[in-house]
């Protein structure tokens, strides 16, 4: 408020202006210059069509096929805390050493089964089309006879010709469905990545990337055995409520 008062007074239109006056003016106009929110313009001309296709697979998965959401959680850091974590005690929260040693990173490729909630994942040192094809072959080897609908985003290595050729060779048993540009929030595996981060990675202290991979795969085994479930998908593909309001404000 003081900065705005100085700015207005410095223009010579008003000799003095108090910060309290500026605050009252902004409050009366419902203006909040200290706040900022982001929005994202849809640039994909087929956004609605692609979104409807994905949502339909979620709401009405074909009985004779598996719907798998694929993506990568990249650069998962293998961090070792310099000193042991102090456990939870009455009146005290768990305390973790701030300093750490970094032992490298793991790129995790994962596939989430929409119907069952089970997850298949593998860790790699990089995330290129070579690793992606290796992951697809490993995934296919586990279930060579089923028909798949694969939901993937628009990452460049997902669209490499070698990947497209592999998928074409699997037709009609493998069908690719591309998420719309800036539509990663439609990918159900992102929901599972959030669960992985909160329940497995958040408080991790490991001594190597193999230790990190082992921890992740033990979590996945526990998830598939005891906790796997389909997510209750409620979004029907209608335009987001914020969009009309935003454009009405722009038009005004």
Nearest to 223 by CA among 186, 182, 191, 249: 191
**What pTM was estimated for this model as a whole?**
0.84
Domain count for the chain: 2
| First CA to last CA distance, the chain | 27
Angle at 189 (CA atoms; ends 69, 67), nearest 5 degrees: 25
Largest CA distance in the chain: 81
Task: Render pLDDT for 225-242 as a digit per residue (tens, 0 to 9).
Answer: 999 999 998 888 766 544
Same domain, 52 and 106: yes
The pairs formed by 98-101 with CB atoms below 8 angstroms and a separation of 24 or more are 100/205
Indicate whether 92 belongs to any domain.
yes
Indicate whether 8 belongs to any domain.
yes
Indicate whether 138 belongs to any domain.
yes
pLDDT given for residue 252 in this prediction: 38
Low-confidence ranges of the chain (pLDDT < 50): 241-252
193 contacts 63 by C-beta, under 8 angstroms:
no
Same domain, 156 and 193: yes
Please provide residue 213's backbone torsions phi and psi, each rounded to the nearest 5 degrees.
Answer: -60, -40
Expressed as residue numbers, the domain containing 14 is 1-37
150 contacts 175 by C-beta, under 8 angstroms:
yes
Indicate whether 245 belongs to any domain.
no
Cα gap 86→63, rounded to integer Å: 49
Indicate whether 64 belongs to any domain.
yes
């Amino acid at each position: 408020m003081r900065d705005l008062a100085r700015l207005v007074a410095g223009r010579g239109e008003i000799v003095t202006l108090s910060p309290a006056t500026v605050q009252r003016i902004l409050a009366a106009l419902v203006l909040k210059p200290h706040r900022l929110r982001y929005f994202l313009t849809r640039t994909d001309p087929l956004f609605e069509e692609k979104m409807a296709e994905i949502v339909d697979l979620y709401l009405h998965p074909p009985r004779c096929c598996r719907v798998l959401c694929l993506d990568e959680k990249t650069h998962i850091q293998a961090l070792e805390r310099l000193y042991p974590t102090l456990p939870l005690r009455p009146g005290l929260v768990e305390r973790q050493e701030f300093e750490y040693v970094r032992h490298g990173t793991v790129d995790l490729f994962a596939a989430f089964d929409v119907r069952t909630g089970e997850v298949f994942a593998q860790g790699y040192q990089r995330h290129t089309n070579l690793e992606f094809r290796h992951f697809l072959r490993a995934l296919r080897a586990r279930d060579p006879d089923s028909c798949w609908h694969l939901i993937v985003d628009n990452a460049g290595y997902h669209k490499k010709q070698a990947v497209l050729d592999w998928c074409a060779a699997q037709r009609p048993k493998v069908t690719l469905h591309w998420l719309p540009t800036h539509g990663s929030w439609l990918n159900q595996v992102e929901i599972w990545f959030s669960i992985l981060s909160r329940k497995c990675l958040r408080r991790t202290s490991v001594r190597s990337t193999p230790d990190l991979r082992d921890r992740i795969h033990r979590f996945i085994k526990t998830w598939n055995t005891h906790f796997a479930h389909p997510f209750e998908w409620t979004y029907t593909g209608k335009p987001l409520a914020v969009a009309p309001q935003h454009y009405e404000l722009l038009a005004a």
